[in-house]
Amino acid sequence: MSDASYLSLEKLTLAYGDSVAVANLDLTIKKGELIALLGPSGCGKTTTMRAIAGLLAVKSGHVRLDGADITRVPANKRAVGLMFQSYALFPHLSVYENVAFGLKLKGMRGPELDAKVQSGLKSVGLSNFANRRPAELSGGQQQRVALARSMVMEPKVLLLDEPLSNLDARLRLEMRTELQRVQKATGVTMIFVTHDQAEALALADRIVVMKSGKIEQIGSPEDIYNRPTSSFVADFVGFENIFPLENGKMKTGAGLVDLSGSLSSEAPSAAGLAWRPRMVTLGTGPFQGTVRGTSFAGDSREYLLDSPLGPIKAEVEASQPAHALGAGLSFDLPAEKAAPLSRFV
């Protein structure tokens, strides 16, 4: 089997009773890739992960790993590791004993076991914490123990369920780096589930955006961030000014409105256009709005405008003069800056 299809989900349909959660999903993952399943609650990302792990029976379709069909293989025989959101550490066992637990179940003992555990602890920087109990560790350290426990089992695929959600902002940044380092050092194929677009953009080689049990878009972080293909993806990754197109004009609260400027060559038949707040030109332009909200964000200032087009969100450098609530402002939505959307959903 080629690396291009190391893990394949083929026409995968998953259900809870009569309720279909994922329908006819196709996805191929390369060996050694770090993949993010991204989407809002209820989109099917965790359900898909559970099916890969063998924790949820497949209604139809196939799961193939490294050349073998594992659709009906029990979870404990899949060579798939799963790191839970809660870490699921044994509170009465030491760090060393937690990492050794799975290896002991496989019958490993003596010097071989010790070498494996010590290597796992070293890989996550916890060699000096082997005798501590989970309660004596920080959240980030507990997560690294859970990661080491999964990695020493040498899984072909490692699944992580919202791996950073229990950490504070500073620890999230540290653990992003740690996860990337361990993944690149070991070459393990890793899939993590998240609803946090910043986390997915920072960590993943490719992002799979899901909606209502289906894949909405697959691409590199740069593709997803800069070139969303649908209004759903655009909204999810921070394009807050989104309008459908009809007969080459924007469909707005004021009716059909001529575009300001020319569309890029990439958008001859776009179904809609999307602008991030910082793409909006504030203080000049053909459109008028009234400041309804403003917030200071360190190096920038954000505005919410009421306008005939509908609500508009804009962002400018904080060094520019501030505008008071109720102030009238001109603005522009330059067509050449917009992200063209092939689907408006």
CATH superfamily of 3-226: P-loop containing nucleotide triphosphate hydrolases (3.40.50.300)
pLDDT of residue 226: 95
Could you please report the per-residue DSSP string of 50-72? Answer: HHHHTSS--SEEEEEETTEE-TT
* b/e burial code for range 79-109 (CB count within 10 A of at least 16 → b): ebbbbebebebeeeebbbebbbbebeeeebe
Sole residue written with tokens 């005798």: 131
Q: Which residues pair with 260 in a beta bridge?
A: 334
pLDDT of residue 175: 75
What are the distances in angstroms from CA 202 to CA 144, 182, 293?
19, 15, 30
- Which strand ranges, in their side-by-side order, compose the sheet holding 281-296? 312-317, 300-306, 281-296, 328-332
Q: Is the dihedral of CA 278, 210, 266, 222 positive or negative?
A: positive
pTM of the model: 0.88
Helix (H) or strand (E) holding 292: strand 281-296
d(CA 131, CA 114): 13
Count CB neighbours of 36 within 10 A: 27
- Cβ 263 vs Cβ 295: under 8 Å: no
pLDDT of residue 1: 41
Fold of domain 241-341? OB fold (Dihydrolipoamide Acetyltransferase, E2P) (2.40.50)
Tell me the domain boundaries of the chain: 3-226, 241-341
* Residue numbers of the chain with a pLDDT score lower than 50: 1-2
The helices-and-strands tally (H runs, E runs) of the chain is: 8, 19
pLDDT of residue 183: 86
> What is the pairing mode between strands 281-296 and 300-306?
antiparallel
For residue 144, give both structure tokens. Answer: 């690294």
Which is nearest to 28 in space by CA: 52, 44, 46?
A: 52
pLDDT of residue 4: 66
d(CA 103, CA 118): 12
DSSP category for residue 183:
H
All residues at 6 or more sequence positions from 126 whose CB lies less than 8 Å from its CB, including other chains = 95, 141, 144, 145, 148
- Cβ 184 vs Cβ 147: under 8 Å: no
Return the SS3 of 100: helix
For residue 32, give both structure tokens. Answer: 């050694």
d(CA 215, CA 84): 23
